[in-house]
Homo-oligomer: A and B are copies of this chain.
Amino acid sequence: MSLLVVGSIALDSVETPFGSTADALGGSAVFFGYAASLLHPVQMVGVVGSDFPQKALDRLAERGVDLAGVQRMKGESFRWKGKYSYDLQNRETLETRLGVFAEFLPRLPEQFRSARYVFLGNIDPELQLSVLDQIQDARFVACDTMNYWIHSKRDVLLQLLRHVNVLMVNDSEARELSGDWNIYRAARWILERGPEMVVIKQGVFGAVMVNGRDIFYVPAFPLEQVFDPTGAGDAFAGGFMGHLARTGDLSEGNLRRAMVYGAAMGSFAVERFSVQRFEEIGPAEVTVRVRQFSRLVYFDLDEDMPDDPG
User: A-side interface residues toward B, CB under 8 Å?
Assistant: 86-87, 181-182, 184-185, 188, 202, 205-206, 208, 214-219, 222-226, 251-254, 256-257, 259-260, 290-291, 294-301, 303-305
Chain B positions within 8 Å of A87 at CB level: 181
Identify which of B205, B214, B259 contacts A205 (C-beta below 8 A).
B205
Contact present for A256 and B298 (CB under 8 Å)? yes
* CB neighbours of A251 from chain B (8 A): 304-305
- Beta-carbon contact of A253 and B300 below 8 Å: yes
17 contacts between A and B (CB under 8 A): A86-B181, A182-B225, A206-B219, A216-B296, A216-B297, A218-B297, A218-B299, A251-B305, A253-B300, A253-B303, A253-B304, A253-B305, A256-B305, A257-B299, A257-B301, A294-B299, A294-B301
Q: Top 10 A-B pairs ranked by shortest CB distance?
A: A253-B305, A256-B299, A205-B205, A297-B297, A217-B219, A252-B305, A184-B224, A253-B304, A87-B181, A184-B222
**A217 x B296 contact (CB < 8 A):** yes
Cα distance A303–B256 in the bound complex, in angstroms: 11
B222 touching A208 by the CB < 8 A rule? Answer: yes
Q: Write out the residue numbers on chain B whose beta carbons fall within 8 Å of the beta carbon of A215.
A: 222, 296
* A305 contacts across to B, CB distance below 8 A: 251-254, 256
A151→B297 CA distance, assembly (Å): 33
A223 to chain B, nearest CB (A): 7
- The answer to whether B297 touches A291, judged by C-beta atoms less than 8 angstroms apart, is no
Contact (Cβ within 8 A) B299 A291: no
Residue of B nearest to A182 (CB): B224
Closest residue to A260 on the B side, CB-wise?
Answer: B299
Tell me the bound Cα distance from A222 to B305 in angstroms.
25
Residue contact A301 to B260, C-beta cutoff 8 Å = yes
Q: How far is the CA of A288 from the CA of B180 in the complex (A)?
A: 28
CA distance A300 to B259 in the complex (A): 12
